Amino acid sequence: MGRLGVLLLNLGGPDKLEDVRPFLYNLFADPEIIRLPSPLLQAPLAWLISTLRAKKSQENYKKIGGGSPLRRITEAQGQALRSQLQQKGHEAHIYLGMRYWHPFTEEAIAQIKRDKIEELVVLPLYPQFSISTTGSSFRLLDRIWKTDPELQKIKYTVVPSWYDNSGYLQAMANLIATQLDQVKNPSEAYVFFSAHGVPVSYIEEAGDPYQKEIEACAELIMQKLNRPNSYKLAYQSRVGPVEWLQPYTDIAIEELAAQGVKELVVVPISFVSEHIETLEEIDMEYREIAEHAGIETFARVPAPDTDPTFIQALADIVIKALNDPKKSFSETIQPQKNTKLYPQERWEWGMTQSAEVWNGRLAMLGFLILLLEIWLGRGQLIH
Ligand SMILES: C=CC1=C(C)c2cc3[nH]c(cc4nc(cc5[nH]c(cc1n2)c(C)c5CCC(=O)O)C(CCC(=O)O)=C4C)c(C)c3C=C
Ligand SMILES: [Fe+2]
Ligand SMILES: [Fe+2]
C-alpha to C-alpha distance for 253 and 251, rounded to whole angstroms: 5
Residue 381 has pLDDT above 80, yes or no: no
* Per-residue pLDDT tens over the stretch 223-246: 999 999 999 999 999 988 899 999
What are the pLDDT digits (tens) for 314-368?
999 999 999 999 999 999 885 555 544 433 323 233 333 433 444 444 455 555 6
Phi first, then psi: what are they for 31, rounded to 5°?
A: -65, -15
d(CA 44, CA 333): 26
- pTM for this structure? 0.89
State the distance from the centre of ligand 2 to the C-alpha of 354, rounded, in angstroms.
Answer: 40
Report the pLDDT value the prediction gives residue 366, as an integer from 0 to 100.
53
Ligand 1 nearest atom to the CA of residue 70, by list position = 29
- 331 annotated to a ligand binding site: no
Q: Which residues of 65-90 are buried (b: 16+ CB within 10 A; e: fewer)?
A: eebbbbbebbeebbebbbebbeeeeb
Percent of the chain whose pLDDT exceeds 70: 87
- Asked if pLDDT for residue 123 goes beyond 60, the answer is yes
Higher pLDDT, 157 or 352: 157
Using one digit for the tens of pLDDT, what is the confidence trace for 41-67? 999 999 999 999 999 999 999 999 999
pLDDT in tens, 280-298: 999 999 999 999 999 999 9
Q: What is the pLDDT of residues 9-30, one digit of tens each?
A: 999 999 999 999 999 999 999 9
Q: How confident is the model at residue 187 (pLDDT cuts 50, 70, 90)?
A: very high
* Residue 37, pLDDT score: 81
**Residue 325, preceding peptide bond in cis (omega within 30° of 0):** no
Looking at the CA of 286, name the nearest ligand.
3
Q: Is 275 annotated as belonging to a binding site?
A: no
Per-residue pLDDT band for 31 (boundaries 50, 70, 90) equals very high
Find the 351 Cα to ligand 3 centroid distance in Å: 46
What's the pLDDT tens digit per position in 366-378? 556 556 544 543 4
State in Å: Cα 333 to ligand 3 middle: 27
Gap from CA of 365 to ligand 2 centroid (Å)? 27
CA–CA distance, 113 with 149 (Å, rounded to integer): 11
* Ligand number nearest to the C-alpha of 271: 1
Show the ligand 1 pocket: residues with CB < 6 angstroms.
11, 13, 27, 33, 53, 57, 68, 70, 126, 130, 132-133, 196, 198-199, 239, 270-271, 275-277, 382
**Counting ligands in written order, which one lies closest to the CA of residue 35?**
1
Tell me, in angstroms, the distance from the centre of ligand 3 to residue 108's CA. Answer: 29
Chain mean pLDDT for the chain? 90
Contact (CB, 8 A) for 47 and 74: no
